[in-house]
Amino acid sequence: MIPVCHLADLPAGESVRIDTAPPIAVFHADGQLYAIDDTCTHQDASLADGWLEGCLVECPLHAASFDLRTGAPTCLPARRAVRTHPVTVEDGMIYVHHHAAEEGTAA
């Protein structure tokens, strides 16, 4: 379980990147919290920097788009899905659950 930040510090429409290996992006979108792998599966770009619209995030480099609920790309040039990770909130703190990334350092 990786602590991300206080819920109060992630307003709706915002995102934060955590420096796990590989990095994970956490989004507050559409009244929900979502966590996906941060790196676009097309080319090296951070999805935490992307454009959020509803449950979709658009990559800031080439406009590939991913569904935050499933990680699936919704348009080219991305073809592979990003992994999604469960998110919980405890005592106002956001946590991402991702065993493979536990070794990394949460920012």
Partner 1 sequence: MKSVAVIGASLAGLYAARALRAQGFDGRLVIVGEEHHRPYDRPPLSKDFLTGATADQGQLALADAEEIAELDAEWLLGTRATGLDLHGRTVLLDGGRSLATDGVVLATGATPRRLPGPAPTGTHTLRTLEDAQALRAELTRGPVRVVVIGGGFIGAEVASSCARLGHDVTVVEAAPLPLVPQLGDTMAGICSALHADHGVTLLTGTGVARLHDGGAGNRVTGVELADGRLLPAEVVVIGIGVRPNTAWLEGSGLPLDDGVCCDAGGVTPQPHIVAVGDVARVDGIRAEHWTSATEQAAVAAQNLLAGGTVATHRSLPYFWSDQYGVRIQFAGRRLPTDTPRIVEGSPDDRSFLACYERDGRTTAVLALNRPRPFMRLRRELARATQPVTT
Written as one letter, the residue type at 30 is D
Q: Where are the alpha helices (DSSP H) in 4-100?
A: none
Task: Tell me if 72 contacts partner 1 by CB under 8 A.
Answer: no
46 or 70: whose CB is closer to partner 1?
Answer: 46
Task: Give the three-state DSSP class for 48.
Answer: helix
* Contact pattern for partner 1 over residues 9 through 28, marking x by CB under 8 A: --------------------
Cβ contacts of residue 1 below 8 Å, gap of 6+?
88, 95, 96, 97, 102
In terms of CB distance, is 62 or 97 closer to partner 1?
A: 62
Considering only 7, 10, 17, 46, the residue that binds partner 1 (CB under 8 A) is: 46
**Which has the closest alpha carbon to 37: 48, 47, 24?**
24
Which residues contribute to the site for partner 1 (CB under 8 A)?
Answer: 43-46, 49-51, 58, 60-63, 76-77, 79
